[in-house]
């Protein structure tokens, strides 16, 4: 009986409409909160998509750090851990995983901004 309750609870939590992040990673922050964070001092905007995705269009002021690059962890290690980092990708999946990796390296101020198209449609400037 207890096992049935556990399974039912697990299935209900998977079906929850409030879940905006699939898979392991930092949850996605709403665009309005992201816009506010980007106005704060010592905030760095990181696009963790591929260089090709970045070249096709990115948020103004973003720096490209390819999450799938072999040396991604090494590139992160060279960043200033005292800064706040706002990360985005195509959907929020890579940026969520990158945020967790950064937290594992001691970064305490990391925001998963989610997907590029969502951020663009919320009014953030692109180039």
pLDDT tens profile 4-31: 333 333 322 333 223 334 456 899 999 9
pLDDT in tens, the chain (127 residues): 433 333 333 322 333 223 334 456 899 999 999 999 999 999 999 999 999 999 999 999 999 999 999 999 999 999 999 999 999 999 999 999 999 999 999 999 999 999 999 999 999 999 9
Q: In the structure encoding, which two tokens stand for residue 2, read together?
A: 């207890």
Scan for tokens 């305490």, then name that residue.
108
Beta bridge partners of 63: 46
pTM (2 decimals)?
0.81
Residue 114: which of 87, 82, 84, 79 has the closest Cα?
87
CA distance 110 to 13: 26
The residues spanned by each domain of the chain are: 20-121
Look up the CATH number of domain 20-121: 3.40.250.10
Task: Catalogue the active-site residues.
Answer: 89
SS3 for 85-117, per residue? Answer: EEEEECCCHHHHHHHHHHHHCCCCCEEEEEEHH
């Amino acid at each position: 009986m207890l096992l049935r309750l556990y399974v039912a609870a697990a299935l209900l939590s998977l079906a929850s409409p409030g879940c905006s992040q699939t898979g392991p990673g930092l949850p996605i922050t709403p665009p309005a909160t992201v816009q506010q964070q980007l106005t704060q001092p010592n905030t760095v905007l990181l696009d963790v998509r591929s260089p090709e995705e970045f070249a096709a269009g990115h948020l103004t002021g973003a720096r490209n750090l390819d999450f799938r690059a072999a040396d991604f962890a090494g590139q992160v290690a060279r960043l200033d851990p005292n800064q706040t980092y706002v990360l985005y990708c195509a959907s929020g999946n890579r940026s969520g995983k990158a945020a967790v990796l950064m937290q594992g390296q001691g970064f305490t101020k990391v925001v998963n901004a989610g997907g590029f198209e969502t951020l663009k449609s919320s009014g953030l400037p692109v180039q």
